[in-house]
Structures are given as C-alpha cells and as structure tokens.
Chain A
Amino acid sequence: KAGVTQTPRYLIKTRGQQVTLSCSPISGHRSVSWYQQTPGQGLQFLFEYFSETQRNKGNFPGRFSGRQFSNSRSEMNVSTLELGDSALYLCASSRTSAQETQYFGPGTRLLVL
C-alpha cells in the first residue's frame, strides 16, 4: 500500500504571498490531519478533515485553512505568509479519525523569506 504523499516537498515563498500544500492519504483512509512542526514549538495540530468536513481545529489564525475532496485528498492554504510560518508541514492520515494511529507523510518544508 502506498504511504501518505505530500507535494511539493520544498517551497520558498516571500512574505505576503500565499501557498497551497497538497496531501494524498493512504488508500482507504478518510481522516486527514495537518500539523506544523518547528524547532521552537514542536509538532502542533492545525486541523482534521473527514468526509470533506473540518472536524477539529487547532489554535492557529484564520490565515491557515484547508479542505478535503471527495477522494479524501486534502489541501491546506496559508495566506499572507509571515516569516514565522517557515516550518515543516506534515499531513497524517488514519482510517476514520485522528484518535487512531496516524500515518504521516514526509512533509513539505516551507521557507518564507
């Protein structure tokens, strides 16, 4: 079974721009969660999607948004990028819920200049 895939793997943007990251979950997994990982804050939960609906949301500003498609693929968008948004963005999938064991993708490394 193919694992979780994320594109792109690396991205460089400048302040004020917006960015869209993509995640394809493991086949059959319907829950997709997004995390931000930085050296200072560690791994922080952004949001979880299930059946095209946001089910849970972490403590991030509204500039961070996401969506899920009918095939369970998910995208997250960050608008008006700030320097502090530089991080590794990880997507994780699970069968039905982020409560279960999650399978992480390799992440997208975003650098904001």
Chain B
Amino acid sequence: SQKIEQNSEALNIQEGKTATLTCNYTNYSPAYLQWYRQDPGRGPVFLLLIRENEKEKRKERLKVTFDTTLKQSLFHITASQPADSATYLCALSTSGGSYIPTFGRGTSLIVHP
C-alpha cells in the first residue's frame, strides 16, 4: 500500500543550526512533492515544490532535495530561528492520476533560542 512517512517525533535544535526534516514514501510514482508549514490552529502554508526530475530546490534559507531512487525528500532550514518552530508537512502528487496531493502527518520542529 502507498505510504508517506514523516518522523512523528519532534525535532529539537538550537537556534542557528540547520534543521533537516525527512519525508519517505513507498509505492508512489511521484510527479512532484510539496512542503508546507503549519502553525497551531492555522491552515498549512505552501513553502516549496520540487518535481520528479529536479534534484534540489532553494528559496532563501530553505532547501529541498528529492531522490526518487531512495524515495525520499529532505527539507533543510539553515540558520534556524525560533520563529521557524512549526509543523512541516510533505505532500506527494502522483502522475497518472488526479494529482490531488497526499499529505504526510508532519514533523514538529522546535528551535530553541
């Protein structure tokens, strides 16, 4: 069966360090993958999209990699700040279907000052 896995344990890091979050998937043929940020009591906010033929995407302090061989995406936040504390969701859209994204359950990131 299809699965998207994100680490359910919160990631605790110190301010200024690089946070790395992981999204693993099985039995998907992804067309593209998206990362969203969600704060408590709010809807997800789109951050980055990476397509299956792209290895890496960057936006300011954010970087996403996509390895379709390993079936994994890594999401990096460099020079992390306490304001980056939130839950981060990955979402996969598959080719050959409706492309409706399937979301992982998210990983909570806590950046300590």
20 CB-based A-B contacts, threshold 8 Å: A33-B100, A42-B104, A42-B105, A43-B89, A43-B105, A44-B103, A45-B100, A48-B100, A58-B100, A90-B44, A98-B98, A98-B100, A99-B98, A99-B100, A102-B101, A104-B44, A104-B45, A105-B43, A106-B42, A109-B41
* Other A-B pairs, 11, CB within 8 Å; known A42-B105, A43-B91, A98-B99: A42-B89, A42-B104, A42-B106, A45-B102, A48-B100, A58-B100, A92-B43, A97-B99, A98-B101, A106-B41, A107-B43
Bound-state CA distance A43–B45 (Å) is 13
- Nearest chain B residue, comparing its CB with the CB of A97: B99
Asked if A90 contacts B43 (CB within 8 A), the reply is: yes
A102 & B46 in contact (Cβ 8 Å cutoff): yes
Q: Report yes or no: B43 in contact with A104, Cβ–Cβ below 8 A.
A: yes
- Residues of A bordering B, CB below 8 Å: 4, 33, 35, 42-45, 48, 56, 58, 90-92, 97-99, 101-107, 109
Bound together, the chains give a CA A87 to CA B41 distance in angstroms of: 11
Contact assessment for B44 and A43 in the assembled complex, using a CB-CB cutoff below 8 Å: yes
Q: Does B34 make an interface contact (CB < 8 A)?
A: yes
Cβ-closest 4 pairs across A and B: A104-B43, A99-B99, A42-B105, A43-B103
Residues of B that sit less than 8 Å from A by CB: 34, 36, 41-46, 49, 89, 91, 93, 98-106
Chain A residues lying within 8 Å of B41, measured Cβ to Cβ, are 106-107, 109
Measured in the bound complex, the distance between the Cα atoms of B93 and A104 in whole Å is: 17
Alpha-carbon separation in the docked complex, A97 to B99 (Å):
9
